[in-house]
A = this chain, B = another copy of it.
Amino acid sequence: MTILLYDLAGADPAVRFSPNCWRVRMALLHKALDFETVPWRFTDKEAIAFSGQGAVPVIQDGAKVVHDSLAIAQHLEQAYGDEPTLFGGPAGEALTTFVRHWTLSILHPGVSKLILLDLFDALDERDKPYFRETREARFGAPLEQVADPSASSLEAFRGSLQPLRNTLREQPFLGGQSPLFPDYIVFGAFQWARAVSPLELLDADDPVYAWRERLLDSHDGAARQAPVHRPQRMTS
């Protein structure tokens, strides 16, 4: 049966930018499962009310509804066998927690600062007031003050990738010779940026760039072929 993934979309419903939804999409591709995505906007609360959640990713897998990207990956691992594995067993799953929290604490804030206005530009008009209000409350400042796509901000972001970079100097994926769910957790942040922003986050000679290329090429290039939004706004 086809799995449904409720997936955050922009003004263009083909543009999908949520890092957490990208984790799930890559996990579904990794498991070679039959799935379809349902475009969803921040303000479409009713469309996912059946899940008891107010945010995506949410999947409907037959009678089962699962939310939260990690819980979805765990469900897929349990329901669809060990191979190809998303975690590589209990130790791999436990260590994924550290990668996830590094991504949430370091990577997501770093990417967000760089792409925030591009991201806002990609949103559906109905979502813009909701996004501005909730994010400005969270940041305690206007989006325009939080956003900083300057060269020094980009340099600081690249510096923050050092643990990832040095890991990828030693092995092709965080998961070793092939990707595991922790790769998709980190990749989601880069795909978030790619979907909405023309800013190149990585130097071409960065081992992180080469790793991102490998994941863009994986699963028949699904992530590379995903439609992107490019801002039309005036830049100063």
Residues of chain A touching chain B, judged by Cβ–Cβ distance below 8 Å, are: 85, 87-99, 101-102, 104-106, 162-164, 166-167, 170-171, 173-177, 180, 182
Contact = CB atoms under 8 A, between A and B. Distances in A.
A182 B166 CA distance: 16
The copy count of this chain in the complex is 2
B174 A98 contact: yes
Contact of A91 (B87, B102, B167): B87
Nearest to A89: B89
28 contacts: A88-B94, A89-B91, A90-B176, A91-B91, A91-B92, A91-B175, A91-B180, A92-B92, A92-B95, A94-B171, A95-B95, A95-B96, A95-B98, A95-B174, A95-B175, A95-B182, A97-B167, A97-B171, A98-B98, A98-B102, A98-B164, A98-B167, A101-B163, A101-B164, A104-B166, A105-B162, A105-B163, A105-B166
B167 A101 contact: yes
A85 B91 CA distance: 10
A96 B39 CA distance: 37
Nearest to A164: B98
A171 B91 CA distance: 12
A71 to B, nearest CB: 13
B175 A94 contact: yes
